[in-house]
Amino acid sequence: MSEQQGETQTPASPGGPAELVRIAAIARRFYLEGRSKVEIAEEFGLSRFKVARDLEAARSSGIVHIEIRLPARLDAELSERLREAYGLRRAIVVAASEDPVQTRSDLGAAAADLLAEIVRPGEVLGLAWSRALQVMGAKLTRLPRCTTVQLNGVLSEYAESGGSVETVRRAAALSGGPAHPIYAPLILPDAATAATLRADPGIAAAFALHDRLTTAVVAIGGWDERNSTVYQALDPASRERCAELGVRAEISGRLFDAEGNPVGCEVDDRVLGIAVDRLRAVPEVVAVAGAGDEAKARAIGAALRSGIPSTLVTDGSTARVLLDELAEQDTPEAAEDRGGDADGSPAAEP
């Protein structure tokens, strides 16, 4: 049978040893040596269509195995599912560990690598604080020259470790650009004290840069003692009043309900941090959050519904809760509770 006649048929799986050796050689040149189908066709005296069919046969018969591998700590499948489900620009999911300290370390390392990848020269980079973000700061190894600014004041219980101030300093040192830290607490005793501090020249300069932010890195907290350092900083009466208003999550001291709507309450005027409208205007907001319980995961879901984070760095356990939560919302029972059908349309009147 001539070569031309052979090409009019779809070949079966490779048969004899000569054919197997030829297909393996073609596959080696294409996949390992990076040669084009035209080059391979010329070498073997075949048409490029025959080369293409041989490459297909190499895959279908098992001569060639194509495997996509990421570092063990990254879960590509969960990352893509989460990105699509929440309409994010990016989702980076790391494998969850039974040790939350290890999970936070992995989150911080992934966030550090991500910043080195996405931040461009001349940007204005805003940094908040959390334990995972503290790890991120420690694991940063490179940044292009940019301006680094603190997004909010320091939580008093973490002041000794430097908190967000130290993270800002390290990022600025790596990038070689200017640093604008905020040397003040996150939550003040009253609104008057907060207003006085906002007028301080150094703090005012940092806040002025919030209008120019191009990338912001934030943490997400829940609304209970275990999952929120802001919650811990308030007195019991203030906590209860915020809970009654529906607070379920916080980002840089700003509070949100379960649907991601900002909640205004008495603590707002006492917080020394970026305003919600300014944060919402930042082109790229990277949320680094996880290593918590189911309540923390649902708080992260609430924060995502605010539309503020464009990228989420989280762990596998949190990602699964977030995906399950969306699945629950799509059930007919959940739609009925919301007063609509499963597709989100209003329920028909009887």
Domains of the chain from N-terminus onward: 11-60 (1.10.10.10), 76-334 (3.40.50.1360)
Convert 216-225 to b/e letters by CB count within 10 Å (16 or more is b): bbbbbbbbbe
Q: How far is CA 250 from CA 71, 159, 306, 317, in A?
A: 31, 20, 11, 20
Share above pLDDT 70 across residues of the chain, in percent, rounded to a whole number: 86
Residue 158 pLDDT greater than 70, yes or no: no
Residue 166 has what pLDDT? 87
Mean pLDDT of the residues in the chain: 87
Residue 327 has what pLDDT? 87
Task: Calculate mean pLDDT across residues 252-270.
Answer: 93
Residue 11 has what pLDDT? 44
Residue 7 pLDDT greater than 50, yes or no: no
Task: Calculate mean pLDDT across residues 311-317.
Answer: 97
Ramachandran bin of 215, using left for φ above 0, alpha for ψ from -120 to 50, beta for the remaining angles: beta
**Residues 115/137, Cβ–Cβ less than 8 Å:** no
**Residues 274/292, Cβ–Cβ less than 8 Å:** no
**From CA 187, how far away is CA 252, in angstroms rounded?**
11
Is beta strand 284-288 parallel, antiparallel or unpaired with respect to 311-315? parallel
- Model confidence pTM above 0.85: no
Q: Which of 11-15, 119-123, 227-231, 262-266 shows the lowest mean pLDDT across its residues?
A: 11-15
Residue 80 has what pLDDT? 95
**Residues 115/217, Cβ–Cβ less than 8 Å:** yes
Task: Calculate mean pLDDT across residues 70-87.
Answer: 88
Residue 13 pLDDT greater than 70, yes or no: no
